[in-house]
Chain A
Amino acid sequence: MIFNSLSFFLFFGVVLAVHYSPLAWKWRKLALLLFSYVFYAAWDPPLVLLLWFSTLIDWFAARYMQRVAPHRRWVGLAMSLVSNLGLLGYFKYGGFVTENLVDLVALAGGRLELADPDIILPVGISFYTFQTLSYSIDVYRGNLRAASSFLDFALYVTFFPQLVAGPIVRASDFIPQCASPRRASPAQLGWGLWLLVVGLFEKVVIADYLMSPTADEVYSGKFVPTFADGWVGTFAYAIQVFCDFAGYSTCAIGVAMCLGFALPDNFRYPYAAIGFSDFWRRWHISLSQWLRDYVYVSAGGNRNGELRTYVNLMLTMLLGGLWHGASWNFVIWGGLHGGYLVAERALRALRWGRWVTSMAARGFWGAVTFLLVCLAWVFFRAATFEQALATAGSMIWPADIGLRQVSRGDALQILTVLLSVVGVQVVLRNTTLEQAAAKVPWWCFGIMMSVMIFTILLVGQRNEAFIYFQF
């Protein structure tokens, strides 16, 4: 079930009706859990078994770690790591590993014949395995006590608003919320519904209707794009992927808020970032914090000298790239961001702070950041490595400048939306959406809401799946 479907609204209506019924909190929590399973099973019911498996393993692993002496906790952690990463490895990377193994043997002059495993990627597996892993690691480190209620823990793993595409929530943020009955205040309910509309507008209107056709055309692989086609198509994809993913997170936060739960922000105006560490503090925040806390810090972080810090940064970003998908293109995308972060850190050592004090300098570095982020998106979007190289090549060393695949009208549309989205992000850069909203008169919300719903109704007949469902 996806947020931009009519069946979701029927489902959500039933969920709200039960959640606001006079039933005891325990029963309402149980209902939320069952609804979450229904939400997930709407794709493919047998895949719920994986969710149960992950839930049970981490429940028992954490309980075990809680019981035993600290030096024996590693057994529980190993159980969680092997199970979750095994699950992820098989379903997400099984085909990739097989394919590369065959290629590797062929490269060595041998011949290996392995049947195509034809594995279905369970939707959201990367998100919920990382979420449960964070719980086990926190318990192992002694930063968190194992949950005392299985129902609360199962709801933490399965809570439907963020189950399939995040934000990746920490147990310490979510489980305490289950302790007392959750009912949204009128302000929370209003803001939650408003966020749901905003998220759908981002997804349905901006990502799917305005941006996706141009991005799809340029990345269709029919032609090698020209310089202008390449940049316009990549700008279109940059906005598409942001509005698609941030749209999902906004919907998730809104839906959770309607139920009285608070979820963490996942995006904070990333295209207004000045520098790449700033970008990663703003883009997919829940994943970048996960990688920071459980990969970068575990590998030593910045505690062992500059060179080791660079290695750790690169390793973290390569893993982050691989998390997105079983393809070398994603690894390269992660590697590029790793390279950007390393270069930025090296620049900082040369007193970077002095370079970005003036408005013009900040604007310049902001633009450089955005353009380099876009260049990395080429590897994220392209279907093959060859296509990515050809596209990036024509964007950097143009052989042909003009527009070929994209019409002037479409290019103008993309650039207008790009400037609007980036402009809004720059203006709101140092504030939060809530702070900005507090300054807007109530009637503006009414008018904006009607305009957004009207546009969603006009263009929302395609119900495309969210891009991040594939990760």
Chain B
Amino acid sequence: MMPMHRAPAVRWARAFALGALTLFIVLGALELALRRDGMRPSIADSKYLWAQHRNMAKEGAAVIILVGSSKFQGAIDPALIERRIPSTSVANLAMHGKSPFPVLSDLARDREVVGTVLVEFMPSRFFRHEHHTVRDTEAHIRSMDRLPVVSGVETAVRHWFQSQFVVVSRWLSPRRLVLWALGREHDVLALSRSYSNRFSARRFPANFPSPAYNWSDENLSRGELEKRVEELRAWVQAIEGRDGRVVFVNLGSSGTARAMEEQLWPEQGWSWFRAQFPANTLGSDELRGIDDVIYPDGIHADATDTTKLTRALVDALLERQLVVKKR
């Protein structure tokens, strides 16, 4: 006989009542304080949620498919797109810190995917090797093959909680909470590296080092660049061959990030890329009403600018008739 676990005698009813009351007071007070500081509930990206959106794209239920990384996650509001373009649904496949290429390639291969695929253009992703982000994204897509049956329920419940309460936001770890309580907002954002939340409206200082350009990946050589363009062209043709559309969207950058981009890619900038895909690009110069938008860290949009950026994007898509009609 193995020694079995036995219960000690404790006044559990009182202990649980005290615990529940303390928890209720602390969580309630924190929720109120965070909301007063301008924070709103936010949905955290997850494998299961991504898979759900990927299935939406597969079943032809989504008309607009977002492919990109944290920049798209923070700058574009899918719900607003759905409101502004009637009978449109959005599959948000943007993943924080991941490469768009494996996702685009996956969509191109899938014959059931039809719609307008909006691909976030970021020079670091397009003009550098970034083997690690490509590998991460490929692994992420592969893991979708064997999702637990219960993932749908889990996502729905989690989604509900995250849409109701700020305190369950993914970025709100104990360390960030302490920094927030100490008033060190910039450190909170710098630590978070996740811009999928509707975070506060505070700005970064002008010289804030951009998180997107900290690593030391090499630039693509001329030949590799041509190969990448050919790959992109093949994926675009595959999707457009099924009456879909692919649009590379450049939302721009500011401050130190832009300066670094100009320094790193003096020849292969947005203009060069646009020349390769004239019918498939949408630049920030074509988005009306966003002239005053400054990306606080140079790359990622401030939550308060999301509406403005999304509206401008939707207007440009409609004006250029780039939205594919629902099947």
CB distance from B133 to the nearest CB of A (A): 14
Contacts of B133-155 to chain A: CB distance below 8 A: 146, 148-150, 153-154
Number of contacts between A and B (CB, 8 Å)? 146
CA distance A260 to B134 in the complex (A): 50
| In the complex, B157 has a CB within 8 A of chain A | yes
Known: A120-B146, A437-B8. A186 touches B154 (CB 8 A): no
- A447 adjacent to chain B (CB < 8 Å): yes
Residues B16 and A449 in contact, CB atoms below 8 Å apart: yes
Count of chain A residues with Cβ under 8 Å from any Cβ of B?
A: 56
Which of chain B's residues have a CB closer than 8 A to the CB of A289?
2
Chain B residue numbers with a CB within 8 Å of A192 are 7
Residue of B nearest to A437 (CB): B8
**In the complex with contacts A173-B1, A434-B5, A458-B167 CB distance below 8 A:** yes
- Is the Cβ of B27 less than 8 Å from the Cβ of A170? no
Contact, CB under 8 Å: A264 / B148 = no
On whether the beta carbons of B157 and A6 are closer than 8 Å, the reply is: yes
Answer whether residue B318 sits at the interface, using C-beta atoms and an 8 A cutoff: no
A450: chain B residues at CB < 8 Å are 18-20, 22-23, 26
| B19 proximity list for chain A (CB < 8 A) | 445-450, 453
B2 to chain A, nearest CB (A): 4
Say if the beta carbon of A468 comes within 8 Å of chain B.
no
Q: Give the distance in Å from the alpha carbon of A173 to the alpha carbon of B58 in the complex.
A: 50
B3 within 8 Å of A (CB atoms): yes
Bound CA–CA A446/B14 (angstroms): 8
Which of A38-46, A316-324, A341-349, A422-430 faces chain B?
A: A38-46
Segment from B78-86, B111-119, B170-178, B303-311 that makes contact with A: B170-178
- Name B4's contact: one of A262, A437, A445, A463 (CB within 8 Å): A262
Answer whether residue A200 sits at the interface, using C-beta atoms and an 8 A cutoff: no
A453 adjacent to B23 (CB under 8 Å):
yes
What 0/1 readout, one digit per residue, does chain B (16-49) give for beta carbons within 8 Å of chain A? 1111101100110000000000000000101000
Q: Which residue of A lies closest to B11 (CB)?
A: A442
* Contact B157 A10, beta carbon cutoff 8 Å: yes
A438 near B9 (CB under 8 angstroms)?
yes
A440–B8 CA distance with the chains assembled, in angstroms: 10
Q: When the two chains form their complex, are residues A173 and B2 in contact, meaning their CB atoms are under 8 A apart?
A: yes
Known: A257-B5, A447-B22, A461-B168. A437 touches B174 (CB 8 A): no
Seen from chain B, the residues whose Cβ lies within 8 Å of a Cβ on chain A are 1-20, 22-23, 26-27, 44, 46, 146, 148-150, 153-154, 157-158, 161, 167-170, 172-174, 177
- What are 14 A-B pairs at a CB distance below 8 A? A6-B154, A10-B153, A42-B150, A44-B149, A209-B173, A264-B3, A265-B2, A434-B8, A435-B8, A445-B10, A445-B12, A447-B19, A450-B20, A461-B168
A residues sitting closer than 8 Å to B (CB atoms) are: 1, 5-7, 10, 41-45, 120, 170, 172-173, 185-194, 209, 253, 257, 262-265, 285-286, 289, 434-435, 437-438, 440, 442-443, 445-450, 453-455, 457-459, 461-463
Extra pairs beyond A193-B16, A434-B5 (6, CB < 8 Å): A5-B154, A6-B157, A10-B157, A265-B2, A442-B11, A443-B14
The 7 closest A-B pairs by CB, nearest first: A190-B12, A446-B18, A191-B7, A449-B19, A264-B2, A450-B22, A42-B150
